[in-house]
Amino acid sequence: MNFEGKTAIVTGSGSGIGSSIAIKLAKNGADILIVDKREKEANEISDIIKKIGRKTLVSVSDVSDYNNCQEVVENCIKTFGHVDILVNNAGINKDGVIWKMTEEQWDSVITINLKGYFNYIRAVSPYFKEQNSGKILNITSINGLRGKFGQANYSASKAGIIGLTKTVAKELGKYNVNVNAIAPGLIETEMMKNADEIVKKQAMSDIVLNRIGQPEDIANAAVFLCSELARHITGEILKVDGGQYI
């Protein structure tokens, strides 16, 4: 897969799945705009990408800020001349059963996980329409497909991403823009490491392949869906979960 001459924006790319996707795209020739709230982590990934030999730009920003997302995309185009790929990955979780969940827990997860995706899709869409090409990849979760005890806010946000993906695929299809999503299962990230041990054991018992997924497993699928090999795929939700959903 060759991404020479392509520029990708990857949100939440300071660590975990996002950083793995950013690095994988760079290894295949793409220049990367790293979006993350954590400056240190974002700069560390930027250094890795520079060593690969690709151009990079860091935006330390909040995906929930609509105006800032517009500015980041405009800055990307001023710096690189164009934007070709958007990977929406930034997300948080603040778990709790529904009868104990606070308004802040609900609002913050929905705002980051769902509105943040809208903000960036809204920002890149006019440019993708104008150039009659583009790839949008949204990272959702198998819990957006099935629900998860103690994750009403997280599951609702991830289900919303699925609806957003399918709708935007219909709206942008005539402009030669592919819009897809990946639904990971249990992946070894910081978010997973901070999860309750009982939750992790239950998840492991559901994984048919009997191993915890790695960020690279998601990155491999992401690079394919962002490539021309997937030019006739749009509106799809690809589960990458070792059979956890079965």
Hey, what are 224's tokens?
């394919």
Catalytic residue among 120, 127, 154, 245: 154
Residues 6+ apart with CB under 8 A from 51: none
What's the rounded Cα separation, in Å, for the pair 168 and 73? 18
Place of tokens 């030019």: 231
Burial class (CB in 10 A: 0-12, 13-18, 19+), 122: middle
The answer to whether 117 is a known catalytic residue is: no
Instruction: Select from 133, 226, 225, 228 the least CA-distant residue to 172.
Output: 133
The CA-to-CA distance between both ends of the chain, in Å, stands at 30
**Helix orientation angle between 152-172 and 103-110, rounded to the nearest 10 degrees:** 30
Annotated catalytic sites, by residue? 154
